[in-house]
Structure 1
Amino acid sequence: MICLFPTYASRNPSDQRWQVRVAGMLTKSLPPESRRRSMAMGLLRRVLELDAEQLASTIFQTRANAFLFDRLPRHTVQIKMGHEYRETCVTNRIGHFETTFDLDDEQCAQLCATSDSFNRSISYEASLDDSCTTSVLGRVHIVEDEGVSVISDIDDTVKVSNVRDRRELLANTLLRTFRAVEGMPDLYRKWEAAGVAFHYVSSSPWQLSNCLREFLNDSEIPLGSLHLKLFRLQDSTPLGRLTSRKRSKRRTIERILADFPKRRFLLVGDSGERDPELYTAIARSHADNICGVAIRQLPDELKMLRRQNKRLQRLAAKLPAGCMKVFSEASEIHDMLFLSTAAR
């Protein structure tokens, strides 16, 4: 099975051609009689105390099966855009593949789904070299070299996950319909209508890429490039910790900033884990690119809330006045993006 990751295209500063990135992974589902499958399912059944109905539910089967596979290294994947095969790439030792190629403005315009000056994207197909009749569709978002972008977390920022409670996190990930944080889809749509581009950088594992794309689409949250965590079953128990190190997330964000040195960025996250510390560090080291930091304050007991407030106030003091905004309701940061960019 080929899973394609939503990526972006940026201008090559040397010749102004579009540098198009394509990435994905190639896997094979574990057979029903697999010992690894039986062990993982048994562990989840015990940890989440699942009954027979929950085990058989479509949501659980779809999400759990997303983690139960063998990776396929050293396989060739063909990339087709329009009527041409543009690139051939080979999966690495963990089944992932990534490649880039260039398009000029005319080629890009011909391949784009819309003619809007913003919110453009290119659809493409990926297939195995020995089975070109079976292909998977992917998307590359075209992001101009100037403008405003939002780099957004997903869990507990736009999607209810409850990351701080591991049991609840697993239940929200594997058992329940994904739910959007109230007000965030409407806010992001308004920003998108104003020409804002989106990059979702999350600690969720790549295995949930398809599920998260469906969630964004069903919740009418603007689509954008998706940057998730590299994850393997043996990383932790059960099914991994489902969150990643701050270091990996920082590298991803800094790569986006490097690809768009003329754009301004608003960083949006939540207080649940390390977003405030990470975003503060990035805003300090990339002051010319970061126009603001927005942190969603998660509901807490009074004692914990006081501790969180002190933490966030301490971090905000390290940034220019007004750079960090802590919010509980999406409406509180509606104007933040435009006020921040206008002030620079």
Structure 2
Amino acid sequence: MFYTIRLYTTLILCSIYIFLTTYGHASSIKAHNKLADGQAVSNIKSDEYVQFFRSSAWFDETSQLWYLPIHGWVYEPEKSIIRKQLIARSLKAKYGLSVTSQQTEKNFDRRVNLLIADNERNKTIIIKIEKQHYTLPKSLPNGHFQDIITLTQSQVDQLQQNNQIIFSAAINSKDKRNFYGAVSLIPPEGISVISDIDDTIKVTQVTDHTKLMNYTFFQDFIPTAGMPALYQSWAQQGITFHFVSSSPWHLYQPLAEFADTAGYPWASYSLKYIRFKDETLLNLFKKGTETKPQQIEAILKVYPKRKFILVGDSGEQDPEVYGELMRQYPKQIIKAFIRNVNNSLATENRYKKAFSGINGDKWQLFKDPKEVQVLSFLNKN
């Protein structure tokens, strides 16, 4: 039997992790059943899509249950030529950027279509885990829906595939599309990496607005040299991954595809909610100080016994955000790695202030991922 926690949110949808940071640990929340009839299907139209976001489950030792966050987005792709032209003109006028090849045109069309997609509210999504159907809360005005399903260990043992629970949207039998999702099962103890995306694992050049827009809208996403190999070497030692970013949820699909193609390990994602119609182009990317502390703290709270490595870059506020979190969670955060993207020195006042009160062996500024002594570091912990 499946158990569930219904999360009631405001119109500005908070993530499930943020819900937990606000209302306490999972064991303090009462679960209840919400099973669907085996014949029930999601009420989505043929021109509407469901995007499930990768998430990670945690085990609560008090209740002896696994908590599986389910998070998705219902939308209708927007193919407005006029709206795309307006964005293209803005990028051309302000940054001198435009389509230069078939590939850049393909990238621009896909990413803009996602950013201006129509959010579908009041859609009831029913998911299938093996033979069980489960009804999720209706989608909110931003198209997002969230819930938490809890499973016993015996259920997880029966259902898990490669340490993941795979599910899909139950849709009308005449609709031949498939919408799949996955939740990774992360045990209570171990080591996890919480990693930034832009300029940490993906070339973005956030501090240069023209290059930022070029990489965001036109260019193929490019992995940061050496980072896939570094992360794979950690994954082979049993380390799990969480990606946090100020990039919008709208771009989740191309970001996840990029990470897979580049060879990064499987990771959960925590991105940013936006309403593109109300945003300037630059406001697509909020400062890390506005988003990352809450994103990271939420992960720390549901894995209180795990140790964490934070990885970011020197381009914006990662050193400051990470240093503050390390002072707040000294037992959980065991290391911070900062990729040096602006030729700064570890002896600069910026880093002295950011990592004030933190032992020097707890953080490292690096240019080449080969500088990161993975095995020697892990052997000390």
Q: TM-score, normalised by structure 1?
A: 0.89
Matched, 1:240 2:288: no
- More moved, 254-263 vs 89-98: 89-98
Matched, 1:324 2:351: no
C-alpha separation in 2, matches of 1:254 and 1:267: 12
The runs of 5 or more residues in structure 2 that have no matched partner are: 1-48
2:123 partner amino acid:
H
Aligned pairs, how many?
Answer: 332
C-alpha separation in 2, matches of 1:155 and 1:271: 11
Matched, 1:72 2:111: no
1:8 offset after TM fit, Å? Answer: 0.7
Counterpart secondary structure, 1:159: coil
Which has more strand, going by share of residues?
1
The equivalent of 1:117 in structure 2 is none
C-alpha separation in 2, matches of 1:332 and 1:158: 16
1:3 offset after TM fit, Å? Answer: 1.4
Residues 47-196 of structure 1 aligned to structure 2 (within 5 Å): 47-51=95-99, 53=101, 57-114=105-162, 120-127=163-170, 134-196=177-239
Percent identical pairs in the alignment equals 30
1:236 offset after TM fit, Å? Answer: 3.0
Q: Indicate if the aligned counterparts of 2:203 and 2:224 stay in contact, CA closer than 8 A.
A: yes
Gap change, CA 1:40 and 1:293, over 3 Å in 2: same
Gap change, CA 1:271 and 1:326, over 3 Å in 2: same
C-alpha separation in 2, matches of 1:325 and 1:54: 41
Gap change, CA 1:49 and 1:105, over 3 Å in 2: same
Matched, 1:220 2:263: yes
| Deviation sequence 1:110-150 (CA, Å, 0-9, x none) | 22222xxxxx2122112568987543111111100000000
Gap change, CA 1:51 and 1:7, over 3 Å in 2: closer
Matched, 1:288 2:331: yes
2:257 partner amino acid:
E
The runs of 5 or more residues in structure 1 that have no matched partner are: 115-119
Gap change, CA 1:317 and 1:232, over 3 Å in 2: same
| Deviation sequence 1:178-228 (CA, Å, 0-9, x none) | 111111100100100000000001111111111111111101100110111
Out of 14, 20, 30, the residue aligned to residue 68 of structure 2 is 20
C-alpha separation in 2, matches of 1:329 and 1:52: 31
Out of 80, 87, 92, the residue aligned to residue 40 of structure 1 is 87
Q: Indicate if the aligned counterparts of 1:80 and 1:87 stay in contact, CA closer than 8 A.
A: no
Q: TM-score, normalised by structure 2?
A: 0.81
Counterpart secondary structure, 1:57: helix
C-alpha separation in 1, matches of 2:190 and 2:367: 27
1:316 offset after TM fit, Å? Answer: 2.9
C-alpha separation in 2, matches of 1:235 and 1:244: 17
C-alpha separation in 1, matches of 2:352 and 2:320: 11
1:247 offset after TM fit, Å? Answer: 3.3
1:52 offset after TM fit, Å? Answer: 6.7
2:331 partner amino acid:
D
The equivalent of 1:339 in structure 2 is 377
1:257 offset after TM fit, Å? Answer: 0.5
1:162 offset after TM fit, Å? Answer: 0.2
